[in-house]
Amino acid sequence: MKKRITVIGGGAWGTALAIQAVRAGADVELILRNPDLAEQINANGENDLYLPGVSLPGALRATTAYDGLRDADAVLLVTPAQHLRETLTKLAAHWTDNLPAVICCKGIEKETGALMAQVVTETLGNVPVAVLSGPTFAKEVATGLPAAITLACEDRGLGKRLVELIGTPEFRPYFSTDVAGVEVAGAIKNVLAIASGVVAGLELGDNARAALITRGIAEMSRLAVAMGGRVETMLGLAGLGDLTLTCTGTLSRNYTFGVALGQGRKSADILGERRSVTEGVYTAASITAVAMKYQVEMPICTAVDQVANHGRDLRSTINGLLQRPFRDELETAQ
């Protein structure tokens, strides 16, 4: 029987995942909010707004309707994290109890501090949930370059079926049961990528960036454990892999946002020029609140929040980080 996959969200990553699902042998429905973009995609075979220059396969159809949702084998949720609750509220009437929701967005909800799996449960009820996360730039996946990614699901049987549903030799999902850990890693790496961009924008050097990535993993690990995740997940594709890519790759929206901050530009001006969402800016605020709730110290993420969301002076913020007391490297609370 032909596989059917629905992708919610027609940005660059949603479009790339839709292309990948076709490569895996599925008929794919890409659901967008913009009817003009859906019409353009179907007519021209290209998403020239978010993924220009990449041809879309014939088995991919764009739509703004939700009618075909019930026939899908799985639904990939690729809306911006801060819009997921609103999107799922609209979709709830079309969702069946056994239809898996695969979360492909990364972030912590700003208003509630909830991870995306919690948002799914609160809006759709007790439906099957999985998380897809890892080091993947959309255009590279869309053009078929090799990539590996984590697929996390508490139900091992379902997780393995989803791996087979979307995996190909060039797009390799590795299975995990650590849903919370994968979600925390995916959210925090965007914030740390902004910090890494600042290091580049200020020309602080490769030593500083390596230190930031390493201490960033320490912050990521502390919060992940506090929220029910596992430390070893932080050393895998969803943690170290995604963090390394996002903290060094110039295709990263969060990294380039940080570079612009480091070069002296204001947060509002940078965001005002962008069509796509820079998730790390919103997640920085969420993480600061969540870290306080769980009594986890996260100085790098807090500093990003202060600069990106509250206009704090960049140089004085960095000096504050550098003047923190010396600690044992593996000390738990830092």
- Which sequence positions are flagged as catalytic? 189
Q: Give the number of other CB atoms < 10 A from CB of residue 292.
A: 13
CA gap 182, 241 in Å, rounded: 12
CA gap 276, 316 in Å, rounded: 30
Kind and range of the H or E run holding 111: none
φ, ψ for residue 329 (rounded to 5)?
-60, -40
CA gap 192, 208 in Å, rounded: 13
CA dihedral sign, ordered 142, 30, 148, 243:
positive
Token representation of residue 305? 């929040």
DSSP 203: T
Residue type, position 119, single letter: V
Token representation of residue 316? 């004085």
DSSP 9: -
CA dihedral sign, ordered 7, 11, 17, 20:
positive
CA gap 244, 50 in Å, rounded: 24
